[in-house]
A and B are shown apart, each in its own frame.
Chain A
Amino acid sequence: MAEEKTPNSRPIIDVRGVWKRFGSAEVLKGIDLQIKKSEVTCIIGPSGSGKSTLLRCIAFLEEYSEGEIYIEGELLGFSLENGGRRRVSDAEVDRVRRNVGFVFQQFNLWPHMSALENVAMPLKLSRGMPREEAARRARAMLEKVGLGHRTQAYPSQLSGGQQQRVGIARALAMEPHIMLFDEPTSALDPELVGEVLQVMRDLASEGMTMAVVTHEMGFAAQVADTVMFIDHGIIAASGSPNEVFRENQNSRLRQFLQNYFERNVFWQGSEGAAAP
């Protein structure tokens, strides 16, 4: 009940001092971030800086080495006991992250199931929904991402953009409170990027809470409430798109954006300025 009086007091995701090591390699070096309800956070940064690792830690697809991650107030993956922490059971992990949806760079649709089954099967198995209802819900989700006409197609019969939209529908069907996207358009042919970004824009405008690792600076500039720049495992800059893209003077960030603009500019106007 206290929760209802102060609806925005508790962040959906609360990451506190998180470190991640692979052997001796330190990939995340003390990450602190919060994501509030209905916020869109875009995470940018050079290749190998730890963006995917951060997202995978928030989804507990990787165990973080140190620090704490809270999902809607509940500690993810561990229980704290007299100074130490203990890994909880898989079922407990599943319970705490039940409201977290994940969209993968490589789509990761199950190739032996049709688009409809990819969306409906989890509803039946992990939500215990009756077959008919699951199918109806799955169809509605596929329609939402513009694939109402392709429900019977197998993943291999769909374009990359369509596959990724099925991936989004599969995550959405579980009614997540937050959606994590790890470079959702990086595996797509350039002409297919737009359709996926459009679905994500629609989601954002409906108030879905989202964390998006992306190289699409245009999307970040238009849709994000917060942009975070990760470099060598730390958040080197963070703020509104305007603050991060225009005002922040972090030299690594400037260099990163400079490289991005140079790669993406193909026509130099008379002013000599490249637009994002």
Chain B
Amino acid sequence: MFNTEIIVKSLPMLLQASVWTVVYSLTSVAIGFCIGTLMCAAGLSSSRLGRGVAAFYVSFFRGVPLLVQLLISYYCLPLIGLNVPSSVAAVGTLALCTGAYIAEILRGGFLGIPPGLIEAARMVGLSRAQILTRIEVPMAVRFTLPALVNETTMMVKASSLISVVGVLELTRLAQNIATSTFQPLEIYLAAGAIYFVINAVISSAGTLVEGRFKAETAR
């Protein structure tokens, strides 16, 4: 029998855990965005070392499954004497992984910036760092917003993988409740619905921001 009562009863706990899901995934996207920006800039720079590092970083984190990356960091960090909480290690790994994808997304945006806009910035004395943060990043984000929003929703879903390294978030809690109540179907359906709502909110927020950007370029 489908048991709605169990859903109602576990909902407060599930919602609480989903806050962690949101925190972990958005934090890793934020950190990953910074890493991705730097890697993207390095990949497009004239420095051979910079380009090499960026190319290796992107191909490693895109080529190895996230689950394996999580397990490696979980078992590896203590070995090299880094005793960070597993949630920190997990967020770090998520950030490194999404950073590689974001670097690739932003790359297209960076390449689409007319060189004259950079020259204009140089002629009014902006430094390299100021040009990156005030001209290149804002423009690249405008060019690539749909892909960046998509990457964010992918990370919300991918954050469910960190349950395997013992970090409490929505999927992990759902597993716990499911095994203790023997009502897995109801609980996982509820968890799935919550993921769906989170991503629907993120997508709408993306559409909203896109609309605001469009207003800048509308005649």
Contact = CB atoms under 8 A, between A and B. Distances in A.
Interface of A: 59, 61, 90-91, 94, 97-98, 100-102, 104, 106, 108-112, 121-122, 125-127, 154, 156-157, 167, 170-171, 174
B86 to A, nearest CB: 40
Contacts of B135: 110
B126 A125 contact: yes
Contact of B219 (A90, A126, A156): A156
A112 B139 CA distance: 7
B41 to A, nearest CB: 15
B16 interface: no
A111 B124 contact: no
Interface stretch (B50-58, B113-121, B181-189): B113-121
B117 A170 contact: no
Contacts of B146: none
A104 B122 CA distance: 13
Interface of B: 114, 116-117, 119-128, 130, 134-135, 138-139, 142, 213, 216-219
Contacts of B127: 90-91, 94, 125-126
Contacts of A61: 119, 122-123
Contacts of A121: 134
A157 B218 contact: yes
A64 B185 CA distance: 71
Closest 7 CB pairs of A and B: A126-B125, A122-B124, A108-B120, A108-B116, A102-B123, A156-B217, A154-B216
B119 A104 contact: yes
- Name the residue among B120, B138, B139, B216 with the largest chain A CB count within 10 angstroms: B120
A112 B216 contact: yes
Contacts of B116: 104, 106, 108
A52 B195 CA distance: 56
A108 B119 contact: yes
A102 B120 contact: yes
19 contacts: A59-B123, A61-B122, A90-B127, A90-B128, A97-B123, A98-B125, A101-B123, A104-B116, A104-B119, A109-B120, A111-B139, A111-B216, A112-B138, A112-B139, A122-B126, A126-B130, A156-B218, A167-B120, A170-B120
A171 B142 contact: no
B124 A108 contact: no
A154 B219 CA distance: 9
Contacts of A108: 114, 116-117, 119-120
Nearest to A118: B120
Contacts of A126: 124-127, 130
A88 to B, nearest CB: 15
B106 to A, nearest CB: 15
Given A102-B123, A126-B124, A127-B125, 10 more contacts: A90-B128, A97-B123, A104-B119, A110-B117, A110-B121, A110-B139, A125-B127, A126-B127, A170-B120, A171-B123
- Name the residue among A94, A104, A106, A111 with the largest chain B CB count within 10 angstroms: A111
A107 B216 CA distance: 17
A126 B142 CA distance: 24
A121 B117 CA distance: 14
B213 to A, nearest CB: 8
Contacts of B130: 125-126
Contacts of B122: 61, 94
Contacts of A94: 122, 125, 127
Contacts of A101: 123
A179 to B, nearest CB: 11
A157 B115 CA distance: 21
B117 A125 contact: no
- Name the residue among A106, A108, A126 with the largest chain B CB count within 10 angstroms: A108
Contacts of B121: 110, 122
A104 B128 contact: no
B15 to A, nearest CB: 37
Contacts of A156: 216-219
Contacts of A111: 117, 139, 216-217
Nearest to B124: A122
